[in-house]
Amino acid sequence: MKKILLMTFEYPKGEIYCGGVGQTVKQCRQVLLDMGYDVYVLISAHFLKKFPVRVLLPDETLLRYPDFHSFQNDFNWYKFNYIIQNFVNWTRPLHKIKSHKGTKPKIFYHFHSILRREKDAGFKTLNRFLLNQEEMIKISDKVICPSRYEYDNFIRYFQHFSEKVVLVENTIETFPPDEKEIQNLRDKYGIKKSDIVSIYVGRLEKIKGAGLLVKKIAKILKENRNLKIFVVGKVLERNIYKRLMSVKKKFPRRVYYIRYMQKKKLFQYYYLSNIFINTSFSESFSLATYEAALCGDVLLLSEIPAFDRFRNAAQIFSHQDKNGNGFASQYNRLLKNKNLWGKLSKKSIMIAKNLVAHNRLKQDLSKLFIT
């Protein structure tokens, strides 16, 4: 049986925060297990040799090691058939594998956004991450791309490596509504039939547009007294968090912050909500947007290319706030025009259902392992 090692900085195991990368790794792991592979997941927040690592075994056992050296005592990674890296660190150890003269695994790099694109857009992408990503592309046997949008960007930025790239589009894990749990949430937060519930899911950082959200919502809440907002996401920029807490203090029963919740529970918040907000300046795919659409939320999305599929199925706003089509204006229009909700929601549900129905994760992954 062929052995595969997935390397990731996050994974949805236990109560530890996990974003879109970890969710994607989880789905890939399950597909590979279903295909008959022996799949291990190496999880480390920093990928430093002296930093603790966790290893998820094929049987769901989670092992903890004080450092990478201890892991290698039990698992010689030259014995794996494939190593799939989902981050940009540890290029030097992977270089050693590449130059090893004996039996060695093939190296695949599964990227989740093109850092050079984000750097070009003016965001503070660390140079070492950018250089490491380009090094990963060079040393990999195959490069796995998460969306058609980023595939096109890859060809534009890395044309020399175009023969390596393979499109394996992300898909979403789904959970049905739990009416009892949804009612419990309504009772917990005092949500009335007349209330409008919005939800933002994403890291609290500038690139995700969280700064724009917390800057504008106080005024929007004043103008819409039946509005409640849930903000779900890990804090990466303290100034945004402090501003959010200031707004929360002014509207204690209308603004709620939750750092992280497991996906099954998060889906119940999607079902509970009316409007899903994505203010992001940069996305490759956005699992949360498809999840919220599938749950029937009306989408309020920023005008970025990654959301082109939802162009006619969502309320779109411009970060430039030109001609009155900025975030606050479009949000208020949506709040005051409930007749539009059903029309937009039906369209976005169909887009999300189509993605799930045409899930090619197994077929596309299987092509990578044909020797």
Residue 275: is it exposed, middle or buried by C-beta count within 10 angstroms (0-12/13-18/19+)? Answer: buried
The DSSP secondary structure of 115-135, one letter per residue, reads: HHHHHHTT----HHHHHHHHH
Residue range 167-179: mean pLDDT, rounded: 94
pLDDT value at residue 49: 67
Give residue 65's pLDDT. 93
Q: How far apart are CA 67 and CA 64, in angstroms?
A: 9
Q: Name the band, by pLDDT with cuts 50, 70 and 90, for residue 6.
A: very high
* Confidence category of residue 267, pLDDT binned at 50, 70, 90: very high
pLDDT band at 90, cuts 50/70/90? confident
Provide the pLDDT confidence category of residue 290 given band limits of 50, 70 and 90: very high
Average pLDDT of the residues of the chain: 92
Tell me the DSSP string of 228-263. EEEEE--BS-HHHHHHHHHHHHHSTTTEEEES---H
Q: How would you classify residue 286: left for phi > 0, otherwise alpha for psi between -120 and 50, otherwise beta?
A: left
pLDDT score, position 47: 66
At the topology level, CATH places domain 3-170 in: Rossmann fold (3.40.50)
What is the token pair recorded at 18?
């996990």
pLDDT, average across residues 65-73 = 88
In CATH terms, the superfamily for domain 179-356 is Glycogen Phosphorylase B; (3.40.50.2000)
pLDDT band at 320 (very low <50, low <70, confident <90, very high): confident
pLDDT at 280: 95
Average pLDDT over residues 331-353: 96
Q: What is the pLDDT of residues 193-234, one digit of tens each?
A: 999 999 999 999 999 999 999 999 999 999 999 999 999 999
193 token code pair:
């039939």
Could you state, in order of their start, the residue ranges of all structural domains in the chain?
A: 3-170, 179-356
List, for residues 14-57, the tens digit of each pLDDT value. Answer: 777 788 899 999 999 999 999 999 999 999 887 666 788 999 99
Question: Tens digits of per-residue pLDDT, 111-124?
Answer: 999 888 888 877 77
Whether 3-170 shares its CATH topology with 179-356 is answered: yes
* pLDDT computed for residue 16 by the predictor: 75
pTM, two decimals, is 0.92
**Token representation of residue 261:** 């919740």
Answer yes or no: is pLDDT of 371 > 60: no
pLDDT recorded at residue 91 = 85
